[in-house]
Amino acid sequence: MTARILGVALQLFADRGYHGTSIPMILEAAGVSASSLYRLYPSKEALVNAVFLDAKGRLGAAIAAAEDPPGGGDPGVAAEGHARFARIWDALARFAAEEPAAFRFLELQDHAPYLDGASRTKELTVLAPLALACMDLKRRGVLRADVEVDVMLASAWGALVGLVKAARLGYLTLDHDKLADAREAMWRAFAADAPATAQGPNTSGAGRRGRKR
Amino acid sequence: MTARILGVALQLFADRGYHGTSIPMILEAAGVSASSLYRLYPSKEALVNAVFLDAKGRLGAAIAAAEDPPGGGDPGVAAEGHARFARIWDALARFAAEEPAAFRFLELQDHAPYLDGASRTKELTVLAPLALACMDLKRRGVLRADVEVDVMLASAWGALVGLVKAARLGYLTLDHDKLADAREAMWRAFAADAPATAQGPNTSGAGRRGRKR
Amino acid sequence: MTARILGVALQLFADRGYHGTSIPMILEAAGVSASSLYRLYPSKEALVNAVFLDAKGRLGAAIAAAEDPPGGGDPGVAAEGHARFARIWDALARFAAEEPAAFRFLELQDHAPYLDGASRTKELTVLAPLALACMDLKRRGVLRADVEVDVMLASAWGALVGLVKAARLGYLTLDHDKLADAREAMWRAFAADAPATAQGPNTSGAGRRGRKR
Amino acid sequence: MTARILGVALQLFADRGYHGTSIPMILEAAGVSASSLYRLYPSKEALVNAVFLDAKGRLGAAIAAAEDPPGGGDPGVAAEGHARFARIWDALARFAAEEPAAFRFLELQDHAPYLDGASRTKELTVLAPLALACMDLKRRGVLRADVEVDVMLASAWGALVGLVKAARLGYLTLDHDKLADAREAMWRAFAADAPATAQGPNTSGAGRRGRKR
DNA sequence: CATGAATGAGGTTTCATTCAT
DNA sequence: CATGAATGAAACCTCATTCAT
C-alpha cells in the first residue's frame, strides 16, 4: 500500500507540484482513505519527504550502479576517462527515460520550503559520488584543470535536465543518438584532451542509424 | 500599480510556485485590495500569464539586444563565431544575475497547465532568435555539423540554468569567472573548430584575477 | 438615461430575480457607470423599488384604461356585465403580452423583503380598481353572490398568471383564442347567470379561425 | 442529516429564492459545517436540485394518492366527473396547506437557470397524471370540448396558486370554504354540464358553517 | 455631473486534518 | 487497524458601495 501511495504521490507531485497537489487527489488516485494515508504519513509534508527520499534513493542507486558496474572487476582503475563519464551520463539518461516522474519531481525548483533534514542529507549523499568521481578525474588530469568541479557538475547536469525538459515541452524528441551527441559534447566541454572537431569515441555501441547532414 | 503587482507576483511565483502563492499573499505584499487586483486581472490565471509575458518580454529584449548590440556597426558580419556566441551567453547570464526572480520564474517546471495562448506564443517568439542564430552559425560551419541545433540549444541553456540553480541552492557561488568558464566549455562542446585542450579565447576582457589550481 | 436603466433593470430583475441580478450586470447592460447609477438611485433597493413603481404604474394605467375606455361614453353604465369583465381581462392579457418583463417581474414571488412603503401603497392602488369593479358587479348581481370577491380576484388573476407562466415554460403556446377561452371560462366560473354548456359571448371580435375538435 | 439540510434549504429557498439564500445561511440554520454539506451535495446547484426533486416528489405523491384513493374500490369507474376533479383539487389544496414551503418553492418563477435534467424530467413526471386525467375527462365528455386541456390545467393550477399567494400576502385568509368555493368555480369554468347559476355540488362534505352574505 | 479606481464584506468552494465507529 | 463523516481555516472571486479626480 505504501508503494502505491508513493507512486501516485510521485506522479502527482511531478505533474502539478507540491502545492498544486491536494491530499484528496492523492487519496482518489491511490484508492485509499484519508485515515490510511495519515497513519502512514502524519502530514502532507511527511509524505512529500518520503516521496523525495524514495525517488532520490532510486536515482542514487542508478548512479552507484554506474560507478560500480555489475560486471565488477576493478572500477577504480578500469573506469577511468571517457568510458567512466559515459557510463555515468548514460545511467542518468536512462533514469530520466525510465522514471520520468521521479526525474521530473527531483528537478522541481525549490523543494526547500518543505524538505526536512533527512531529505537534505539524502540530496548530498546522492550528489557526493558524482562530485567525488569528478574530482578524482580532474586530479588525474582527465578533466580540465582550469574549470572548477562544481561548474562542470552543474553544467553537465543542467544540460541533461535541459534536454529532458525540452523534450517534454515538445521542442525536440530525445532519442539515443541525441543523448549520445550531448554526452560527447559535454565530454568535449570538460575533458582535458578531448578532440576538437572529430567526433569523440562513441561507447554507446549499436551502430548509429546514419549521421545527419 | 500594475508594476508593483507584477513585481511582487513575479517574486512570489518565483519563490513559491503558482499553486503555492495565494492571492492574499500577493495582496498583502503589494498593499492592494482584492478587488483592485481583480479589476486589473480577472483571475489568478490571467495574472500569472501577465507576469509571464512581462518577464519573458524582458528576457526577449535582453536576447535581442545581444544580437543587435547598441554599439551598432555591422552585426551581421562582425558578430560571427565565438564573439557572437559569447555575447548571447553573457546577455543571458547578466539577465539571470540582474533579474533573478524573472529568470527563476521562467524556468519553473511546467507552466503549461495555466499558460494561455498568448504566453505560449511569446515563448516561441523569444526562443526563435536563439534558434535562428544557432542555425545560422551552424550553416556557416561555425558550429559542429554533427550535432542538432535543438540539442545544442537545450544543452547550453540547460547548463546555464543548472549553474544558476546550483548557485541558488548553495552548491557553488557564481561569479564572472565561473560563468566565463562555463561559456567557454559550451563553446568547446559545440564549436566546429574549438581547440581541445588549450583554454579557448576569453573575450570577457579584464584580466582575470588569478587562475585557480 | 433613467429610462434605459429602468428598462434593463426590469429585464434583468425579471429574468434573474432581485438577488440574482448584480449591480455590475445592470451597469454593463445599461452602459452606464456605477456612479451614474448611484446618483440616480442611492442603493440597489431604491432601484428595485423604482423599477417596481414604474412597472406597476404601467399595469395600473392599463387597468384604468380598460375601466375608462378611450371611446368615452358612460363607462359606469355601459360597461356592465360580461363586456366589462372582458375588457379588463383583455387589458391584462395585452399587458402580459406587450410587457412580458414587467408582467413577470411583478409576479415574482415575494418582493416583500425589499419593497418600501411607496411600493406597497402602489400595489394596493393598482389593485383597488379591480377590487372595486368586482364588488360593484357583485352588488349588482352580475357576479355570483356565493363567492367572495377576494376569491374571485385571486383565482382569475392567478389563472391568467398561470397561463402566461405555462406559456413561458413551453407547456402551451398562448394565442388570442386560448386567452379568450380562458376568459370565458373565468366568466362561467364567477358570473351569476353564465350559460353552463354553450360558449359564452365572445367579444374579442375577429372571427375565430376554426374551433378545435 | 440530509433530511435536516433539505428541510432548512427548502424553507430558505422558498422564503428568499435561490440567489437570495447563501450557503452560510443554510449552514447556520441546519447546524452543519460547510464541508459536511459539500460532501453530500457537491455544489449549491446540486443542493437546490435535490431540494426540488424532494419537494416535487412529495407533490407527485399527493397527486397520485388523490388519483388512486387509499380506500380503493374501483377508481377508474367511480372517480369520474366532479368527484374526481374535487379529489385532485383538494389534494393540491391540502398539499399547499400542509407543506407551504414546498408549494411556494415549487411555484417560484423560473427555476430554469439552475435546474438540471433530472429535475426537469421530474417536473414532467409529476405533471403527467394531471394532464392524463384531464384528457381522459375531456374525452368522456365530462370536461368541455371547446377548451384545450392545457388551458384548463394552466388556469386551474394558476387559480390555486393565486389563492395561496394572495393568502400569503394577506389579501385574503384561506379557509376550507373558500378553497371549496374556488374549486366549484373552476368546475363551472371547465365542466361540460355544470349548472350556470345554482351552486354546484359540494362534495367536501361536512356541512358548511353558514353561507356568507 | 460623470467616471474609473478602490474597498471591506461576504459569496461559493476546497483544503489538510481529526475522530467516532 | 481502517474508514466515512466532520471540521475550521483559508482558497479564489464578486458584490454593493464610495471617492478622488
Angstrom distance (rounded) from CA D37 to CA D18: 16
3-state secondary structure of B186: helix
Q: Is the pLDDT reported for residue A135 higher than 60?
A: yes
Assess contact for D32 and D1: CB atoms under 8 A.
yes
CB nearest to D159's CB, from C18, C162, C188: C162
**Given phi > 0 = left and psi -120 to 50 = alpha, else beta, which region is A109?**
beta
Average pLDDT, chain B: 86
What is the pLDDT, as a whole number, of residue A198? 40
Task: Encode pLDDT of C162-190 as tens digits.
Answer: 999 999 999 999 999 999 999 999 999 99
Residue pLDDT tens, chain C, 213 long: 889 999 999 999 999 999 999 999 999 999 999 999 999 999 999 999 999 999 999 999 999 998 776 655 555 554 568 899 999 999 999 999 999 999 999 998 777 788 999 999 999 999 999 999 999 999 988 999 999 999 999 999 999 999 999 999 999 999 999 999 999 999 999 998 745 444 444 444 444 444 444
Task: Encode pLDDT of D76-124 as tens digits.
Answer: 554 568 899 999 999 999 999 999 999 999 998 677 789 999 999 999 9
* Amino acid (one-letter) located at B3: A
Q: How many CB atoms lie within 10 A of CB B150?
A: 19
Q: Is the pLDDT reported for residue A213 higher than 60?
A: no
How big is chain D by its Cα radius of gyration, in Å? Answer: 19
Closest listed residue to residue D199, CA positions, set B108, B135, B197, D182: D182
Mean pLDDT of A112-121: 88
What is the pLDDT, as a whole number, of residue C72? 52
Q: For chain B, what percent of residues have pLDDT higher than 70?
A: 85
| Length of chain B (residues) | 213
Task: Encode pLDDT of A159-209 as tens digits.
Answer: 999 999 999 999 999 999 999 999 999 999 999 874 444 444 444 444 444
What is the pLDDT, as a whole number, of residue A92? 96
CB of D22 within 7 Å of some strand E atom: yes
Closest listed residue to residue D38, CA positions, set D46, D49, D30: D46
Assess contact for C34 and C20: CB atoms under 8 A.
no
CB nearest to D196's CB, from C152, C185, C194: C194
Place of cell 578532440: A195
Residue of C nearest to D107 (CA): C109
Q: Is the pLDDT reported for residue B203 higher than 50?
A: no
Q: Is the pLDDT reported for residue B186 higher than 80?
A: yes
Output the nine-digit C-alpha cell for A158.
Answer: 543542467
Q: Is the pLDDT reported for residue D203 higher than 70?
A: no
Assess contact for D196 and C194: CB atoms under 8 A.
yes
Assess contact for C185 and D180: CB atoms under 8 A.
no
CB < 8 Å to C211, chain D: 146
Angstrom distance (rounded) from CA D11 to CA C185: 35
Name chain D's partners: 3 or more CB pairs within 8 A. Answer: C
Angstrom distance (rounded) from CA A49 to CA A114: 8
CB of B35 within 7 Å of some strand F atom: yes
* Distance in Å, residue C24 CA to nucleotide E8 C1': 17
Assess contact for C34 and D31: CB atoms under 8 A.
no
* Amino acid (one-letter) located at B97: A
Q: How many CB atoms lie within 10 A of CB B170?
A: 7
Helices (H) and strands (E) in chain C, counts: 10, 0
Angstrom distance (rounded) from CA D80 to CA D68: 12
Place of cell 394558476: D158
* Amino acid (one-letter) located at A170: G
Beta-carbon contacts of A203 under 8 Å, excluding residues fewer than 6 positions away, are A82, A83, A86
3-state secondary structure of B208: coil
What is the pLDDT, as a whole number, of residue C128? 93
Residue of D109, D142, D181 to mutate when probing chain C, most C C-beta within 10 A: D109
Alpha-carbon distances of C134 from A99, A188, C145, D200, rounded to whole Å? 85, 105, 11, 21
Q: How many CA atoms lie within 13 A of D11 on its CB side?
A: 10
Angstrom distance (rounded) from CA A86 to CA A179: 11
Average pLDDT, chain A: 86
Q: Is the pLDDT reported for residue B19 higher than 80?
A: yes
Which nucleotides along chain F are within 7 A of a protein C-beta? 1-20
Task: Encode pLDDT of A60-105 as tens digits.
Answer: 999 999 877 665 555 555 456 889 999 999 999 999 999 999 999 9
What is the pLDDT, as a whole number, of residue A196? 44
Residue of D92, D110, D130 to mutate when probing chain C, most C C-beta within 10 A: D110
pLDDT band for position D18 (50/70/90)?
very high
Angstrom distance (rounded) from CA A155 to CA D124: 70
Residue of C nearest to D212 (CA): C146
Assess contact for A139 and A150: CB atoms under 8 A.
no
Alpha helix (H) residue ranges in chain A: 2-16, 23-30, 34-40, 44-67, 75-78, 81-98, 100-106, 117-139, 149-168, 176-190
Assess contact for A27 and A35: CB atoms under 8 A.
no
Angstrom distance (rounded) from CA C5 to CA C31: 9
Angstrom distance (rounded) from CA B163 to CA B174: 8
Closest listed residue to residue C109, CA positions, set A32, D194, D104: D104
Task: Encode pLDDT of D150-183 as tens digits.
Answer: 999 999 999 999 999 999 999 999 999 999 999 9
Q: How many CB atoms lie within 10 A of CB D195?
A: 13
